[in-house]
Structure 1
Amino acid sequence: MRRFLVMGVMAVLALTGCGGGEPAAISAAGLSSAKDSTFVYLHHLDIVTDWDPASSYSNEIVAMENIYDSLTIYNPRTRRAGPRLAVAWTSSADGKTWTFTLREGVVFHTGRPVDAAAVKASVERTKRLGAGAAYIWDSVQQIVVRDPLTVEFRLKYAAPLDIIASSGYAAFVYDTHAAGSGDLGKWFQTGRDAGSGPYTVASWTKGREKELVLRAFDGYWGGWDGPHYRNVEFRVTPDPDRAYRMLLRGEASYVQRLNTQLFLRARATAGVRTIQVPSFQNLLVLFNSASGPLADVRLRKAVQKAIDYDGLITRMRGAAAPASGLVPEGLLGHVPGQRSRQDLAGAAELLAQAGYGPDGAPLRLTLTYAEGDDDEALLVRLLTDALASLNVQVEAKAMQWNDQWSRGKATDPAKRQDIFVMYWYPDYADAYSWFLNVFHSAEPVSFNLTYLKDKNLDERIDTLPSLVTSDRGAAEKAYADLQKRLVEKDAVVAVPWVSTYQRAYLGNVQGYTDNPAYSNVVFVHDLIPGG
């Protein structure tokens, strides 16, 4: 990828606990209201990297989920799929035939109807392009239009298609005829959309702070009765201090990411609401198991043991929870009681076995992590210091994501890093996303940045969707066994924490909730702009 309904009235009061240069009070003139109804979302990264709903696989999820609809949507309270474009669905006893009944009267922003033929065309195009998270439809063998509001999916193997259809990526239903006789992919990349969601693109200026503006789609099936935000602005604000000041001035409605210090100040600030919620997102420390010194499993285990897991949780002051295995709590496959602990003596012993350590040869490792991420920087600093005490020197480099990822995917193994630090959250609410994307063999390399190539492991991963559908007990065991192998036996990954999201937003924003299956998404149509 939660949980709270927050309602409140903005109090224009003197702020306490604020440093110099900050406003003494939030200005009522700057606040969003039912009249101007613009919701301003501040993100620390660029919003859009890919406008095509078939291949989109990055930060633009925060906008796309407000522009496009999927057949279903994940409900974190019931832990099941709920209705969206589909109002009902059934599956055969063997889990290989799924029939969805569509909502009546829905239209795309282009004016064309959202019917069974449109669903079939969307999924088939996404499968054909095979980009981004298109793998979610791999089980689909055939799609049959039964009538305008009934679509049937016939699968090659059993899979939980109701949950798959709620995916944050690659599950969007869109008008495949939007470009007419033109190239639909090129048409999308100019900043146009063909969704059926509550908002449509008003403007997009790549590289600008106010990168994207959405406006209300009057024909939205969910309606516009009562107060709603009619416009949504997405602004790119990398500096958390500036983002916080914009919130205090009423120039922003919502800040997606604050550091812990600012979040604690926001909690004590009149007129600002905060929310702290668990997520499905964890931090992965991926070890190069194919080349370089960490091809030796003893050295991978030594680095695992050098991480100060408890110290990190303490220092992050609520922004993280201890991890137990690879799968966060709340997802099928989570295994309690698998928490890791620092063990420097054990690390030294493993290093010595490999000829390194305090009394052996010096070991040099390279590490890459995200530039501007204070939490990752803390991990790197503590790990670097701990390893230095064991005669292991780490050359750590903070990089922009695209540069870091490009290095990790280098065709020349000599150009790759020894340790790759990154976050992961599921494409849909199932742990399969970690195992298929991060640990399954992949050629060329994509997110398999441990560079594992193991046919037996791949076969075990490939059985997971069928097991989830047919035998959840067997699926739980399969997930537990895979985690034991990857974390303990093969030691290709360490998991220092599961992120706890810390958000801040204006007190006049009512009805905000956080859904862990859609990382960083605010479903703006569900909000109520207060006075």
Structure 2
Amino acid sequence: MRRRLIAAAAALLLAGCSVQPARQEPPPAKESTFVYARHLVVVTDWDPATSYSNEIVAMQNIYESLTVYNPVTKKASPRLATSWRVTPDGRTWTFTLRSGVTFHTGRPLDAAAVKSSIERTMRSGSGPSYIWDAVENIRADDPLTVTFTLKYPVPLDLVASSGYAAYIYDTAAARDLKAWFAAGRDAGTGPYTIATWKKGKRDELTLKAYRPYWGGWNRPHYTSVKFLVIPDPGEAWQRLLRGEASFVNRLNPALYRRAAGTAGVRTAETPSFQTAMLLFNTASGPLADVRIRRALRKTIDYDGTLRALRGAASPATGVVPEGLLGHLPGRTHKQDLQGATELLAAAGYGPGGRALRLTLTYAEGDEDQRVFVERLVATLAPLNITLVARAMPWDAQWARGKTRGQDIFLMYWWPDYADAYSWFAKVFRSAEETEFNLTYLKDRVADGLIDTLPELTVTDRAAAQRAYARLDRRLLDVQAAAAVPWVVNYQRAYLGGIQGYNDNPAYPEVVFAYDLRPAG
């Protein structure tokens, strides 16, 4: 699940380019805490330049980007930038910044700070920094104007709304920023700042209001945000009932149905850009044989999985979910046990052949993944395949995957910004160092197609769609490097008095706490 919600920042998303900075208002009269109960550890990396995992749920409340994705218009909307313009060739973008914004360090936000933070992120060379690959240079024209010159056209307004690596932060906060961030400090402009961080504890993280926040605190807001790590959905549900949690990001189907009929509890079910992916080890072990990988894809009971997840999932037609360029409508995947048996027999395995033993890792506390894995174990047993499945904390699962320590890696993926490119650039493109390319595939044909996508998306969307279709078929059908069993439907439960919650598919698992109205 990689990194794995974002409630839409309603006031911000609807803001126009004429928005003026808010006056400093007195603090709210009543202190209130939003408690987010989630099944995964929150923080794996505190550095906004390199963060590429679960901490998005906290960091989107601490840091801000130039723009934010608006799921209603399906375009970028103002955030730290109030307006922007682009030249006809798509290679020069100029952003006008919001005035009166300060970092949590007290320093003012200006064009020089934007330039400095993005350049530091680019220099990091980390996984998410690739979003800025098209940038040739950045120029601070005046305190509130910053211009980007690109090597080739990309939709920079969407890039600047990315959930990762687009954060603007104070690079002057410390001499050794990496170490400073690692200690649990921040240098953002968002409505909240870090109050306490207890690494490895259940009450892992608490944020507090940043009082000089440019949006102001004159109307009701949550003044603190607490993140609880509770892998057991039953315990999370009980905490919600007792009012010890405000929001639970994931329940099992039975508990979600119960929540929908419980007084004082609200539920929300929305489609997402988040796909479940089985990534096969193409480099070593039994799955280096493409016949076995193709057989495994055929063993998956796609329709049965959807029924078992009871509304928490939608059919996946390919790598890219509906709502993004690259989606392939009408394509279906069906279980074919006879075809799987024939492929296994050709490789010397299956009923009557050699026994096959495979290992699979998945996220501890994720009920949907657990249900899927249990069904897959039962499906494979009659085919003379023993699947040894292990639920692991995400950071441990990821660390193991980087060493090729499994045959199958089950995780979620969503785009870094509202564009399908990151599935291919980060999960499937050849790489010398393993990060999220956990199939370990090296395919020069696929790499060449992937590298054409950013520019084609701007210059020839029809050609981009054709490239996505070719990639999907090559990676899933020809190479059989992965299987995509379902697309996640978000099923949330939260206290009934909370107003203003909405999911934004571009920021999975993030709740923008500032935009909520506290429960009474």
Is the structural similarity TM-score above 0.5? Answer: yes
Q: CA deviation at 1:324?
A: 0.8
For residues 385-410 of structure 1, the C-alpha deviation after alignment (integer angstroms, 9 at most, x for no partner) is 22221222222222222332222222
In the alignment, the residues of structure 1 paired with residue 402 and residue 211 of structure 2 have an alpha-carbon distance, to the nearest angstrom, of 44
Q: 1:426 to 1:35 in 2, by over 3 A?
A: same
Is 1:439 aligned with 2:428?
Answer: yes
Map 1:440-519 onto structure 2 (within 5 A). 440-519=429-508
User: What is the SS of the residue equivalent to 2:493?
Assistant: strand
Task: Give the secondary-structure state (helix, strand or coil) at the position aligned to 1:375.
Answer: helix
CA distance in 2, matches of 1:506, 1:377: 26
| Structure 2 residue aligned with 1:281 | 274
**Aligned pair 1:430/2:430, yes or no?**
no
Q: Give the letter aligned to residue 55 of structure 1.
A: T
C-alpha offsets along residues 442-487 of structure 1, whole Å, 9 cap, x if unaligned?
1111111111112222121011110111111111111111101111
Q: Deviations over 1:185-214 (max 9, x none)?
A: 111111111111111112222222222221
1:58-105 per-residue CA deviation (whole Å, 9 max, x = no partner) reads 111111111111000001111111110011111222222111111122
Q: Is the 8 A contact 2:6 2:510 kept in 1?
A: no
TM-score relative to the length of structure 1: 0.91
- Provide the residue aligned with 2:97 in structure 1: 102
Instruction: Write the mapping of 1:336-375 to structure 2, written as runs, cut at 5 A.
Output: 336-375=329-368
- Find the residue that maps to 2:204 and give its secondary structure: strand
What does the per-residue CA deviation read over 1:124-161, in whole Å, with 9 as the maximum and x for residues that have no partner? 00111122411111111100111111111111121111
Pairs within 5 Å for 1:110-509: 110-179=105-174, 182-410=175-403, 416-509=405-498
- Asked whether the equivalents of residues 65 and 79 of structure 2 are also in contact (C-alpha less than 8 Å), the reply is yes
Q: Are 2:42 and 1:47 aligned?
A: yes
Contact persistence 2:39–2:365 (CA under 8 A): no
How far apart are residue 119 of structure 1 and its match?
A: 0.4
Identity between Structure 1 and Structure 2 (%): 63
Bigger mean CA deviation after superposition, 391-400 or 244-253? 391-400
Q: CA deviation at 1:423?
A: 1.1
Contact 2:6 2:57 in 1 (8 A): no
Are 2:6 and 2:509, in contact at CA under 8 Å, matched by a contact in 1? Answer: no
2:485 is paired with a residue whose SS is coil
Give the conservation status (yes or no) of the 8 Å contact 2:39–2:366. no
Q: Look up the equivalent residue of 1:335 and give its one-letter code.
A: L
What SS does the aligned partner of 1:496 have? strand
Deviation at 1:297, TM superposition (A): 1.6
Aligned residue type for 2:160? A
* Contact persistence 1:288–1:449 (CA under 8 A): yes
Aligned residue identity for 2:250: R
Structure 1 partner of 2:25: none
Task: Answer whether contact 1:510 1:528 (CA < 8 A) is retained.
Answer: yes
Q: CA deviation at 1:3?
A: 8.6
In 2, are the aligned partners of 1:3 and 1:277 still within 8 Å (CA)?
no
CA distance 1:34–1:530, shift in 2 (3 Å): farther
Aligned-partner SS, 2:383: coil
User: 1:2, CA displacement in angstroms?
Assistant: 8.8
Amino acid at match of 2:300: I
Q: Which runs of 5+ in 2 are unaligned?
A: 11-27
Question: Could you tell me whether the CA contact under 8 Å between 1:325 and 1:334 is conserved in 2?
Answer: yes
Greater displacement, 138-147 / 353-362: 353-362
Measured after TM superposition, the shift of residue 360 of structure 1 is 2.6
CA contact (8 A) 2:6 2:507 kept: no
1:5 is displaced (CA, Å) by: 11
1:361 deviates by 2.6
* SS of structure 2 residue aligned to 1:449: coil
Residue aligned with 1:65, SS:
helix
Residues in 2 aligned to 1:57 and 1:141: alpha-carbon distance in whole angstroms: 23
Tell me the C-alpha RMSD between the 2 structures. 1.8
CA apart distance, 1:374: 2.2
The one-letter code sitting in structure 2 at the alignment partner of 1:401 is W
1:293: Cα distance to partner? Answer: 2.0
Distance in 2 (CA, whole Å) between partners of 1:4 and 1:405 is 29
The aligned length equals: 499
Amino acid at match of 1:482: L
Residues 218-268 of structure 1: CA deviation (Å, up to 9, x unaligned):
211112222111111112222211211111111211111211111111100
Q: Using the alignment, how far apart are the partners of 1:108 and 1:448 within structure 2?
A: 35
Aligned partners of 1:374 and 1:206: how far apart in 2? 24
Contact 2:192 2:210 survives alignment (8 Å) = yes
Contact 1:37/1:229 (CA < 8 Å) preserved in 2? yes
Tell me the residue number matched to 1:91.
86
- Shift, 1:522, TM fit: 0.7
Q: How does 1:68-83 map to 2 (within 5 A)?
A: 68-83=63-78
Relative distance call for 1:335 and 1:3 in structure 2 (3 A) is farther
**Comparing 313-322 and 368-377, the one that deviates more:** 368-377
SS at match of 1:515: coil
TM-score normalised by structure 2 residue count: 0.93
Tell me how far apart the structure 2 counterparts of residues 209 and 370 of structure 1 sit (CA, whole Å).
17
- Which amino acid letter does the alignment assign opposite residue 260 of structure 1? P
- Contact 1:323–1:495 (Cα < 8 Å) also in 2: yes
Give yes or no for contact 2:6–2:511 (8 Å, CA) kept in 1: no
Distance 1:42 1:335, change over 3 A: same
- Alpha carbons of structure 1 residues 189 and 468: separation in structure 2 relative to 1, 3 Å: same
Deviations 1:279-312 (A, max 9, x none): 1111111112222222222211111000111111
